[in-house]
Chain A
Amino acid sequence: MKERRRKERIDRGIKAVTDDIYCLSSLREIAYLVLPRVLPVIGLLLLIFLVPLYWKKVLVITFIMAIMAISWDFLSSCGLISLGQALFFAVGAYLAGGMNYYLGFPVYLTLPLATLFGGALSTMLIFPALRLRGMYFSMITLIIPLMLMRVVEATKIFGGTEGLSALSSLPGLYSSIGLSMLALFATLFGLRRLVASDYGLIFVALKDNDRAVEASGLNTLWFKVQAIYIGSAICAFCGAFMTHYYMNVGMSAFALDLSIFPIASCVVGGMGTLAGPLLGALILGPLSEALRSFGTFRIVIYSALMVVFIAGLPEGIFPYLRRKYEQTERWI
């Protein structure tokens, strides 16, 4: 019989030291822990100043999409697999647009208000579906934004198919880059901290075994509501931001792209890691910009990437890289 070889993976010594003992004795160990977190941040900051003007605008969109992706990842790690992230985005976008258009609120008021109320409104919209688990929830979330789009189209509220335009803009390109980047890092590191805390543990447990959560005397529905609120408020911020960035809001806020992009970047980057979606979005965002001339062909590419990654590298790029960083491999 042919001898079968397998790969053996062993943690690097430095990981064993830094991972749970927390007695960092050398610069090397500190660097091992800190560099992977700090380098990307510095890299992104530098990137802003290095790229030409056109790509700066692309970067803003990419950042916003990355925030959406991170929020999707957070929801999916709570067991709430949403196929309609566009709903949250659109709620935020229309709220900000409406407040600005009808009530004349300035930007610094609409952004936070749209975030807070957008989260609440989306939670209310999705509440009937919250009791469902797994793919049943996904089915409903897929339907709701498409239906709402029809409602807007049919009843002609908020400007119908044309949308609201001539809204006030964000002050300056650099401030919008700064704001989007700040929001990105706040979301990323905030959610990472949240998931690692005792409170966040409940959210993750909802996915792994919600009956155990219920058996522990916790109200699963209430925690799902909280998770949805956090996730949708983040997306509502993205919607409000993009509304002011483009200075209009229309039915494209419900577009399927917006639901697909977060999923695609999570699948590519690695689900359940929160940093993975950022990586995925940073890959897919510029890629989709480069493919803009192909029109809807972009969606084909996203979905092809999703299929390839989910079948070929189910863990995603980020966990793969992390494994390479933390472990040595050899054939035995």
Chain B
Amino acid sequence: MLVYGFINSLILALIALGFSMTFGISRVANFAHGAFYVLGGLLTWLFLRKAGMPYFVAAILAVLIMGILGALMYRFLLQRLRGLELSEVIATFAVGLMILELMRCFGVMGFQYRLPAFVRGSVSVFGTYVGIQRLIIVGAGLVLLILLYLFVHHTKLGLAFRGVAQDDHTAYTVGINPDKVSMLSLTLGAMIVSLAAILILPLGTISVDDGYDILLKSLAVCIIGGLESTLGVLVASFILGYAEILTVMYISASLSMVVPLLCMLIILLIRPSGLFGKYKELEERI
């Protein structure tokens, strides 16, 4: 149980990372996040099955295309709407819906739509049998987290990211173009989430409804953790991950989807800024 909780938590963290990244930097709540997740998985599937590319190439291509898509969405849709929160929310939500429902129309559903696992088989970890795919998720998740941390804290671009996240006007005066950085943040968010999709989807099938689930989960994680901090995302996903596993084990599997909502409501009542939220956020929230 401990092991599964750990894996579940890292999956959640992977999912929510892209969302919190985009939001933390550019203040765009990307409601198309779940759609990007499913689309990333589907693109990989298409390249793999229809175009017959090797797995590695297909994955990289899918991630790149998703990144470009995120950038395009920012450039041609969101850049016109900067500052109009209402319009931003509606626009990203509409784009997400469009992608998801379009896929539903083409009948993306069922067992044929599944990505193969990287490696089959399972090993025993602390006495529980765990599929190797899950272990890969854990490893890749940790690597991704560390890489992101290094990128944000030790490169010039990362510095620009943090600058815009703190105050985009000041960033502008020192020669950082906030639009460019925001566009990059959307690109990065889309890339991370499609990477997550490629890692996680071999555990199940690609389904459209996943898109909504993913969006809900990443929202929940981000609200609980506080939207700006990566640490918050990590801690919140551990809380949620273990809470879900506990519910499945002791109460009922069908109620596990309610857990995020309950956690969120409790957090909102106790600490409206989220566990690791900063004062600036608190001001914006209430």
CB atoms of B268 and A83 under 8 A apart: no
Asked if B272 is at the interface (CB within 8 A of a chain A CB), the reply is yes
Asked if A134 is at the interface (CB within 8 A of a chain B CB), the reply is yes
CB atoms of B286 and A133 under 8 A apart: yes
CB atoms of A139 and B29 under 8 A apart: yes
Name the interface size band of chain A: 35 or more
CB contact under 8 A between A311 and B101, given known A131-B272, A153-B254 = no
Measured CA separation A260–B97 after assembly (Å)? 9
Select B286's contact among A132, A139, A143, A267, beta carbons within 8 Å: A132
Q: Is the interface of A mostly helix, strand, loop or mixed?
A: helix
**Interface pick from A44-52, A187-195, A292-300:** A292-300
Name the B residues within 8 Å of A307 (CB-CB).
Answer: 77, 91, 94-95, 98
CB atoms of A128 and B268 under 8 A apart: yes
Nearest-CB distance from B186 to chain A (Å)? Answer: 15
Nearest-CB distance from B115 to chain A (Å)? Answer: 24
CB atoms of B86 and A154 under 8 A apart: no
Query: Chain B 213-226, CB within 8 Å of chain A: the 1/0 string?
Result: 00110011001000
Name the B residues within 8 Å of A134 (CB-CB).
Answer: 85, 284
Asked if B150 is at the interface (CB within 8 A of a chain A CB), the reply is no
Closest to B274 in A: A136
Closest to B77 in A: A311
Asked if B258 is at the interface (CB within 8 A of a chain A CB), the reply is yes
CB atoms of B264 and A140 under 8 A apart: yes
CB atoms of A139 and B90 under 8 A apart: no
Q: Is the interface of B mostly helix, strand, loop or mixed?
A: helix
CB atoms of B85 and A135 under 8 A apart: yes
Nearest-CB distance from B93 to chain A (Å)? Answer: 6
Closest to A298 in B: B101
Query: Chain A 145-163, CB within 8 Å of chain B: the 1/0 string?
Result: 0110011011000000000
Asked if A286 is at the interface (CB within 8 A of a chain B CB), the reply is no
Asked if A18 is at the interface (CB within 8 A of a chain B CB), the reply is no
CB contact under 8 A between A143 and B90, given known A131-B272, A300-B98, A311-B77 = no
Asked if B87 is at the interface (CB within 8 A of a chain A CB), the reply is yes
Asked if B2 is at the interface (CB within 8 A of a chain A CB), the reply is no
CB atoms of A311 and B91 under 8 A apart: yes
Name the A residues within 8 Å of B97 (CB-CB).
Answer: 256, 260, 299-300, 302-303
The A/B interface has a contact count, at CB < 8 Å, of 124
Select B212's contact among A128, A146, A153, A294, beta carbons within 8 Å: A146
Name the A residues within 8 Å of B31 (CB-CB).
Answer: 83, 142
Asked if B82 is at the interface (CB within 8 A of a chain A CB), the reply is no
Name the A residues within 8 Å of B212 (CB-CB).
Answer: 146, 256
Name the B residues within 8 Å of A297 (CB-CB).
Answer: 101-102, 105
CB atoms of B98 and A147 under 8 A apart: no
Measured CA separation A153–B253 after assembly (Å)? 12
Closest to A151 in B: B258
Closest to B29 in A: A135
Query: Chain B 67-94, CB within 8 Å of chain A: the 1/0 string?
Result: 0000000001100110011111111011
Asked if B143 is at the interface (CB within 8 A of a chain A CB), the reply is no
Measured CA separation A311–B88 after assembly (Å)? 10
Measured CA separation A260–B223 after assembly (Å)? 23
Asked if A314 is at the interface (CB within 8 A of a chain B CB), the reply is yes
Name the A residues within 8 Å of B220 (CB-CB).
Answer: 143
CB contact under 8 A between A81 and B264, given known A133-B286, A307-B94, A310-B94 = no
Nearest-CB distance from B269 to chain A (Å)? Answer: 6
Measured CA separation A304–B101 after assembly (Å)? 11
Query: Chain A 103-140, CB within 8 Å of chain B: the 1/0 string?
Result: 00000000000000000000000001101111110111
CB atoms of B285 and A303 under 8 A apart: no
Name the A residues within 8 Å of B102 (CB-CB).
Answer: 297, 300
Name the B residues within 8 Å of A299 (CB-CB).
Answer: 97, 101
CB atoms of B90 and A310 under 8 A apart: yes
Closest to B218 in A: A139
CB atoms of A271 and B86 under 8 A apart: yes
Asked if B104 is at the interface (CB within 8 A of a chain A CB), the reply is yes
CB contact under 8 A between A132 and B216, given known A296-B104, A307-B98 = no
Select B105's contact among A132, A296, A310, beta carbons within 8 Å: A296
Residues of A within 8 A of B (CB): 76, 81, 83, 128-129, 131-136, 138-140, 142-144, 146-147, 150-151, 153-154, 256, 260, 263, 267, 271, 294-297, 299-300, 302-304, 306-307, 310-311, 314
Q: In the complex, given contacts A146-B212, A263-B93, A295-B105, what are 10 additional A-B residue pairs having Cβ atoms less than 8 angstroms apart? A: A128-B265, A135-B29, A138-B29, A139-B223, A143-B260, A256-B97, A296-B104, A302-B97, A304-B98, A306-B90
